Chain A
Amino acid sequence: MLRQASRLLARRPILAARTRAFSTDLSAADQTADAAFADAWNKVIPNMDPPKTPLSFMQPRPPTPSSIPSKLTVNFVLPYASELATKEIDMVIVPATTGQMGVLPGHVATIAELKPGVLSVHEGNEVTKYFVSSGFVFIHANSFADIIAVEAVPLDRLDANLVQKGLAEFTSKLSSATTDLEKAETQIGVDVHSALNSALTG
């Protein structure tokens, strides 16, 4: 078995040399895959149309333009609703774990985890702010951004009293927490409530 190892290892470079296409450049590739299937289908069942494969329903992502586009296209989705769907905006500021990150058209492709904080969408002169509980933002090279969050509420739906109460409650629990898990939970509580607090006051 080990005698074969050197032969197998020699095969590796060939695979590595073939570069993988980015998903943004795939539009030509899936056409050929469907065409082969369609041919085979038509040979066997000429009367019926071939069924559509999932690939044909998906719109390929627009390729990266050579010059920076003027608007950022944003998809802001929650598990139960789609807040913004391919909306063209000027800038979005996301609360990444590494700090508030401003995303403009032409931003470098990034994946960022979000911390509880304020997400603001800037379109012309209007700014829409949401409080996001946590999630991710995927910024693609072609100025598309996908923001996914579990909960996102406009700031005016938050009750300041409940936030203060929660903050006080969790801060006091922090000293009395015993197990690691409890400490983590109370720390999360403190983080979320202080973020809520600064969102409402700041």
Chain B
Amino acid sequence: MASNAAVPFWRAAGMTYITYSNICANLVRNCLKGPYKTEALTREKVHFSISKWTDGKPEKPTLRSDSPEE
């Protein structure tokens, strides 16, 4: 069948679709007006709690809230 014809430029640069899509979404959110912008920025936040497990028991979890960029 046809090989990977005309990959999009972001795929050629090593970016995945999800990364591309998130970047687009962030750029759009940053162009919003006043109150909509603040509520959109809260939507962007990603919080996750990581706990490492040793000997079958979880250690104390750490809470990380990285901004969801690559």
A residues at B contact (CB < 8 Å): 80, 97, 116, 131, 133-135, 150-151, 153, 157-159, 162-163, 166, 180-181, 183-185, 187-189, 192-193, 196
Interface of A, helix, strand, loop or mixed by DSSP = helix
Q: Which of B21-29, B47-55, B57-65 lies at the interface?
A: B21-29
> Shortest CB–CB separation between residue A50 and chain B, in angstroms?
36
Interface residues on B, range: 20 to 34
Q: Taking the nearest CB of chain B, how far is it from the CB of A61, in angstroms?
A: 26
Residues of A within 8 A of B27 (CB): 133, 166, 188-189, 192-193
The 4 tightest CB contacts between A and B, nearest first, are A184-B13, A180-B13, A150-B25, A151-B25
B23: chain A residues at CB < 8 Å are 185, 188-189
Q: Tell me the B32-59 residues at the A interface (CB within 8 Å).
A: 32-34, 36-37, 40, 43
Q: Are B21 and A135 within 8 A (Cβ)?
A: yes
Instruction: State the CA gap A135–B33 with chains docked (Å).
Output: 22
Residues of B within 8 A of A181 (CB): 13-15
- Least Cβ–Cβ distance between B3 and chain A, in angstroms: 19
- Taking a contact as CB atoms under 8 Å apart, the answer to whether A159 and B33 are in contact is yes
Provide 9 A-B residue pairs closer than 8 Å at the C-beta atoms, listed in order of the A residue: A150-B25, A151-B40, A159-B37, A184-B9, A184-B12, A188-B10, A188-B27, A189-B27, A192-B28
Interfacial chain A residues near B43, Cβ < 8 Å: 80
A188 adjacent to B20 (CB under 8 Å)? yes
Answer whether A183 and B13 are a contact pair too, CB < 8 Å, given A157-B33, A159-B33, A162-B31.
Answer: yes
- Residue of B at shortest CB range from A184? B13
Could you tell me the distance between the alpha carbons of A193 and B32 in the complex, rounded to whole angstroms?
12
Chain A residues with CB under 8 A of B8? 97
Query: Which of B9, B14, B22, B27 has the most A CB atoms < 10 Å from its CB?
Result: B27
